[in-house]
Structure 1
């Protein structure tokens, strides 16, 4: 029986913090598999959960203000553990997605949604040039990381600026492809200066592209560093490092996105459900995403595609640091026959143009 009462949680943590040496003697191998099994598919006992939480706090440098906050976070941790093990127990293939106790394991689903996931109201006709390219000669697999068109995985921190990271990733990619030079660009300049969007409270990738094209360029991350807060625009005071001429929206289908991704990294906005923030490995098929919906709440970057065990997938770069997913990346299933793809990944894909 798992712990269920707050008073008991306080008592358990009092014991754990009092006898710290006993808890510290517990050593957890990679992915904590000694407790949860190699696939994290069995629920730990009460004692194991306490020890696992202590080791996890140590691994991720978590420090709480007081015992009350720690008890609340432990409750979140237990709830996520149950969700993780229930989900992982349903896996049928070695490439099916795994959830895990990553850096967000003590966040509740509501806390995470309020910070990172904001409904993106995409206008049905936003004036964007649409490329209805449904047939193209695309290689069977492609990874733009191996071609020097993708920068390091970044961290948006506690700021809802995923749209800016998705946009800069696509601009970095097309400039590297056209010029042969890869430059890490400034999300902060977009957060501060693209006023149609809402800074840390969500925004639009196409508006970011439009701003860069009108501004005749965007600064490097080095010249305009990220602060994870919206500030005063300094675009006129920093040099412009990379430019784009325009942008387009892909056809809302697997083939439409494929034809774009075969040419360059592509910005996509999708719907991220509760299990998204606990993703650790494998081909994600969005079991909790709305069916045939084009609703989105998070933007990422498609940097390629491949197949495993007969399953086709997109290679997706996120902006939640390398501690999330597979060193900051995930695989999302493609060619599913769904109207907008898994979690609406095909619904609102945009790519910059550079002549």
Structure 2
């Protein structure tokens, strides 16, 4: 989805760098797909076209598995036959429907040979949109290995179909817990645990992976929860290899979700690691306030979460009016201040004033380490919040 609802998918794409993906220096292609062009999916493709398409996707995966150093063996994914995934989902029975993922429907499945529960994303077959994102996600997840990133079990590209098979995250997306009927289950400790886990996953992409990756689609609906609310980032279809060497940014078509896009990226198409930091700040504000990034049902001055939050956070007295009412006053005031201050500095308009992801992760880990025990009645201490312009 584009950052703006009026932006059309038919916008001009930047020219691909045709250089083969041989090195990890600043001359490498900026998209994980720049080495290949994949034919669009069609249900009525001839057998030779189907074979060619499957070969192209497989070749892309092999190219990426050839880089990444230590990650190569960790991220091995399995090629499934279409029949295996049909069996796993009972022919994609709607009783197994989990929801809509990036560019396709997601179904719960059970692999017959191992008994493993999985989530299977089926790319929309009518039209070409999403094919590029499918391959990028497949290639990205074949490289990464981190406890806060969703695991890719495998893929299938048979019969004109394109499917991705992920580990099954039993509790679903964070979005459902923030805005659905399960809101009351998210106490302070759980929210901070989720935020810190997301920060560690992003830190891995930015600072630990070689080449580094800009996630570009951080939001509550892309944060999946496993047992005991263990968080994992998912949906890497918009991921982009970040700038290296002397480069400061990656020039690309503006993509993402309205309300989460950094203003400088939305205006110029210049993507940096600080673009992800802005999105993380919005995400953290969601967790703290229980408000959506964009909510057209609210009064006009409150529809954009960041625009609403920034001026309020300059007065220390406002945080208690901003915090999610579902917490019912059960939070530690000093840690609440630190969490709001972290979110605020992440959504600064100037990218240079935003922190590195390692700093964000460290701040949230510290909050998590201060385990909160609910009080009755709730504490009312008001900490001071410095003005951050």
TM-score range, shorter chain: under 0.3
TM-score normalised per structure 2? 0.23
TM-score normalised per structure 1? 0.25
More contact order relative to length (CA 8 Å, sep ≥ 6): 1
